[in-house]
């Protein structure tokens, strides 16, 4: 792996290790480019208690300043990029993008952990197992709407919605819609190593069978929440074997799109 664009920091509240520890591991692993994409803050309602995200005011500013300082410090060893992993929440999207631009964010990944709008009625956490077919449809619709903005550089763990209903034909049809939009927008879809190494419900064989048929672009994403996961050799090997098994076309670089 020459690059990694999906990496978190302690600032999200459920990862550990300093940004510099991540950078040192990336240099040791031989990355040419290393991107931080911590869980992004949004312009939530003031009454909403934020969990698993940095504060959009001082937290975001400190995050950006720290990473830009590390870019300068290690400029002779590695190219460091400043990004975020963010959901597409229609109620907050444009105001939130303005905050990102003001702080110099260079790219965002679409990681839709929740449908609806977090902090408002109707929001649903995608990791919860459900037989609700309408929930999967809503997830796919929201991802498609997010991709259509043209502001995302790739889609992280695209099959993260934990649909456990038994209708695999329905599941394939919904996955096909998401995959078709990614292909239309020329957006890579991520083989997520955190999920693969942790035996989570993703990456999904059914999803990637469909992705392979569509010949969509794929990217391996570490989703590192600890410096030791920056280049976990066994998980990286699993990722490449997974891509080979499904005959996926792995990209050699990522076009970073400013939000």
Percent of the chain with pLDDT over 90: 93
Mean of all residue pLDDT scores within the chain: 96
Query: Which band of pLDDT confidence, cut at 50, 70 and 90, is reported for residue 46?
Result: confident
* Domain residue extents for the chain: 3-250
56 pLDDT tier (thresholds 50, 70, 90): confident
* Distance (Å, whole) CA 77 – CA 158: 32
* Digit-coded pLDDT (tens) for 69-86: 999 999 999 999 999 999
Its CATH class, for the domain covering 3-250, is alpha beta
pLDDT at position 151: 98
Q: What per-residue confidence (pLDDT) applies to 67?
A: 97
Q: For residue 131, what pLDDT is reported? A: 97
Say if residue 2 is exposed, middle or buried (CB neighbours under 10 Å; 0-12, 13-18, 19+): exposed
pLDDT of residue 34: 98
Task: State how far the Cα of 16 lies from the Cα of 8, in Å rounded to an integer.
Answer: 8
Measured CA to CA, the distance from residue 186 to residue 243 in angstroms comes to 18
Q: Is the pLDDT of residue 253 over 90?
A: yes
Query: Is a pLDDT exceeding 90 seen at residue 115?
Result: yes
């Amino acid at each position: 792996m020459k690059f990694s664009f999906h990496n978190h920091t302690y600032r999200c509240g459920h990862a550990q290790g300093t940004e510099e520890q991540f950078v040192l591991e990336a240099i040791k692993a031989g990355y040419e480019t290393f991107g931080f994409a911590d869980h992004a803050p949004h312009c939530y309602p003031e009454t909403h208690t934020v969990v698993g995200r940095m504060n959009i005011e001082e937290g975001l500013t400190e995050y950006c300043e720290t990473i830009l300082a590390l870019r300068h410090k290690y400029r002779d060893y590695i190219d460091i990029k400043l990004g975020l992993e963010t959901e597409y929440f229609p109620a907050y999207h444009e105001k939130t993008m303005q905050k990102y631009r003001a702080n110099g964010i260079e790219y965002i990944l679409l990681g839709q952990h929740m449908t609806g709008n977090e902090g408002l009625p109707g929001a649903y956490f995608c990791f919860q197992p459900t037989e609700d077919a309408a929930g999967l449809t809503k997830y796919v619709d929201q991802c498609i709407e997010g991709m259509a903005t043209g502001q995302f550089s790739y889609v992280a763990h695209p099959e993260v919605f934990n649909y456990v209903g038994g209708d695999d034909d329905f599941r394939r049809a919904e996955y096909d819609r998401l995959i078709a939009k990614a292909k239309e927008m020329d957006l890579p879809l991520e083989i997520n190593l955190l999920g693969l190494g942790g035996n989570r419900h993703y990456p999904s064989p059914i999803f990637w069978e469909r992705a392979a048929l569509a010949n969509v672009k794929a990217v391996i994403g570490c989703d590192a929440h600890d410096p030791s996961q920056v280049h976990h050799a066994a998980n990286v090997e699993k990722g490449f074997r997974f891509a080979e098994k499904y005959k996926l076309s792995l990209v050699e670089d990522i076009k970073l799109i400013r939000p």
